[in-house]
């Protein structure tokens, strides 16, 4: 892969993340791990474990189970000591933090052992209080800070403009990418598409897909209301909400009750986690990103465009960097069901519009590849290692 041009022979990189369940940041851990190994380095990941651990070890990485999701400072004290021991024992050169809770003990362990500390700002975190900003600030304290979009970089600079530690801080924008080899319409075999239809149904309906964990800000409730309006307007549809609650079981129950009250029980399916996302996009007539607060990047829109599917996304955050309005997709006002319903109805009634957006979106997606993201990340590692050598 392209990362092989950036040699990391002998280097050991430890990535820390709360858990290795499904999600954009978690998949990025695996993608970067593969790049590190391909470039001759060693990979460690510390997390609470999860369904992606076998994929990590299958690549040749090693997993260490620690309570990385905890926000309890008492737990952090034990975790940072365990991380410091791990860094020393394994000869870790760089600790790369991808979330706030594990980043605090990782920062301490890095400073204690002399390992370099890199962070990736995966989200534009909410909160304006001093306490919340202090908690968030750990993600801006890396020797190098990676922002996953221009929107995220702007959010970092705005949030911490007056904080002393930001003086001279290096921020590198590396957009998240899609694995274009996997997200390729021609790569989805008939049996994979059949398997998607077997679970999701909707052969004779207008098929709408929203992937994302079940949490209120992802906008599932807004899309359900839009689906109710569309059904009232005579559209025969099938809506698939893919994702697990991941601690938001009350929200999942609320969604199920809302679906029933809206008379959509025969139109909406919520199958939980989904392993074959390219097949899910191939199943869909349109993919939706309905997030009510800004996505830091918006991988759903990018993956859908790579799969030559039209996209409807909310008009804020990173979606503005991937979706070109009326060219590769449609942007709508966040949190509002009516404009979302209007956009979906346009696509249902105008197949030529969907075809045009899909073709342009496929070309647009080629600019955001996983390979480019991995290579740029390995470039950051190389720069950090070279800086360490100069100081030695």
- CB neighbour class for 129 (10 Å; exposed up to 12, middle 13-18, buried from 19): exposed
Supply the CATH number for residue 257's domain: 3.40.50.2000
Under 8 Å between Cβ of 373 and 2: no
CA-atom Rg of the chain in angstroms = 21
Pair 92, 209 in one domain = no
What domain count does the chain have?
2
Does residue 275 surpass a pLDDT of 60? yes
pLDDT per position as a tens digit, 209-233:
999 989 999 999 999 999 999 999 9
Does 327 lie in the same domain as 378?
Answer: no
Q: For residue 10, is pLDDT > 60?
A: yes
Q: What is the pLDDT of residues 325-370, one digit of tens each?
A: 999 999 999 999 999 999 999 999 999 999 999 999 999 998 888 8
CA dihedral over 277, 99, 255, 340, signed as positive or negative: negative
Q: At what angle do helices 24-38 and 370-391 cross, to 10 degrees?
A: 60
The predicted-structure confidence for 53-62, as pLDDT tens digits, reads as follows 999 999 999 9
Within 8 A by CB and 6+ apart from 161, the residues are none
Q: Do 170 and 302 fall within a single domain? A: no
Q: Is the pLDDT of residue 94 over 60?
A: yes
Kindly tell me the sign of the dihedral angle through the C-alpha atoms of 352, 354, 355, 361: positive
Residue 154 burial (C-beta neighbours within 10 Å; 0-12, 13-18, 19+) = middle
One domain for residues 200 and 340: yes
Average pLDDT, the chain: 93
Contact indicator for 8, 41 with CB cutoff of 8 Å: yes
Q: Would you put residue 122 in left (φ > 0), alpha (ψ -120 to 50) or beta?
A: alpha
Return the pLDDT at 5. 47
- How large is the average pLDDT for residues 175-186? 86
Rounded to an integer, the average pLDDT of 79-103 is 97
pLDDT of residue 179 exceeding 60, the answer is: yes
Q: Are residues 157 and 302 in the same domain?
A: no
Domain residues for the domain of 47 are 2-177+370-391
Residues 243 and 272 in one domain: yes
Q: Is the pLDDT of residue 2 over 60?
A: no
Q: Give the per-residue pLDDT at 55.
A: 96
On whether both 111 and 204 belong to a single domain, the answer is no
Residues 226 and 150 both lie in one domain: no
Choice between 123 and 193, residue whose per-residue pLDDT is larger: 193
Q: Are residues 203 and 162 in the same domain?
A: no
Q: What is the pLDDT of residues 129-171, one digit of tens each?
A: 889 999 999 999 999 999 988 899 998 998 898 898 888 889 9
User: What is the rounded distance in angstroms from the CA atom of residue 214 to the CA atom of residue 161?
Assistant: 33
Q: What percent of the chain has pLDDT above 90?
A: 78
pLDDT for 4 equals 42
**Are 63 and 57 spatial neighbours (Cβ–Cβ below 8 Å)?**
yes
Cα gap 53→308, rounded to integer Å? 30
For position 316, what pLDDT does the model report?
93
pTM of the full structure: 0.76
Q: Are residues 376 and 353 in the same domain?
A: no
74/211 same-domain check: no
- Whether residue 282 has pLDDT greater than 90: yes
| Token code pair at residue 58 | 């299958």
When pLDDT is cut at 50, 70 and 90, the band that residue 6 belongs to is: low
220 or 178, which is more confident: 220
**Each residue's pLDDT tens digit, 11-46:** 999 999 999 987 778 989 999 999 999 999 999 999
| Residue 127 pLDDT greater than 80, yes or no | no
Residue bearing the bigger pLDDT, 2 or 43 = 43
Same domain, 30 and 164: yes
């Amino acid at each position: 892969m392209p990362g092989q041009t950036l040699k990391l022979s002998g280097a050991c990189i430890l990535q820390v993340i709360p858990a290795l369940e499904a999600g954009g940041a978690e998949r990025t851990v695996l993608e970067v791990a593969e790049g590190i190994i391909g470039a001759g380095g060693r990979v460690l990941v510390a997390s609470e474990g999860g369904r992606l651990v076998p994929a990590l070890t299958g690549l040749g990485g090693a997993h260490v189970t620690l309570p990385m999701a905890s926000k309890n400072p008492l737990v952090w004290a034990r975790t940072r000591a365990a991380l410091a021991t791990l860094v020393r024992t394994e000869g870790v050169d760089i600790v790369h933090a991808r979330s706030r809770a594990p980043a605090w003990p990782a920062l301490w362990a890095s400073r204690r052992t002399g390992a370099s500390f890199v962070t990736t700002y995966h989200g534009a975190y909410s909160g304006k209080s001093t306490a919340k900003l202090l908690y968030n600030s750990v993600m801006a304290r890396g020797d190098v800070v990676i922002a996953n979009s221009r929107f995220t970089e702007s959010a970092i600079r705005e949030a911490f403009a007056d904080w002393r530690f930001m003086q001279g801080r290096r921020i590198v924008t590396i957009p998240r990418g899609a694995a274009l080899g996997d997200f390729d319409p021609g790569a989805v075999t008939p049996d994979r598409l059949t398997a998607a239809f077997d679970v999701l149904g909707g052969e004779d309906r207008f098929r709408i897909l929203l992937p994302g964990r079940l949490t209120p800000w992802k906008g599932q409730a807004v899309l359900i209301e839009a689906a109710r309006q569309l059904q009232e307007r005579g559209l025969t549809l099938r809506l698939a909400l893919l994702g697990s609650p991941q601690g938001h079981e009350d929200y999942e129950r609320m969604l199920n009750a809302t679906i029933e009250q809206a008379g959509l029980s025969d139109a909406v399916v919520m199958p939980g986690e989904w392993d074959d996302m390219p097949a899910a996009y191939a199943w869909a007539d349109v993919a939706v990103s309905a997030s009510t607060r800004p996505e830091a990047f918006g991988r759903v829109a990018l993956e859908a465009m790579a799969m030559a599917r039209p996209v409807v996304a909310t008009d804020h955050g990173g979606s503005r960097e991937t979706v070109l309005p009326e060219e590769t997709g449609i942007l709508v006002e966040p949190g509002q069901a009516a404009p979302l319903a209007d956009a979906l109805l346009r696509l249902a009634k105008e197949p030529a519009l969907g075809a045009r957006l899909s073709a342009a979106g496929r070309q647009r997606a080629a600019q955001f590849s996983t390979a480019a993201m991995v290579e740029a990340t390995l470039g950051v590692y190389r720069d950090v290692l070279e800086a360490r050598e100069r100081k030695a």
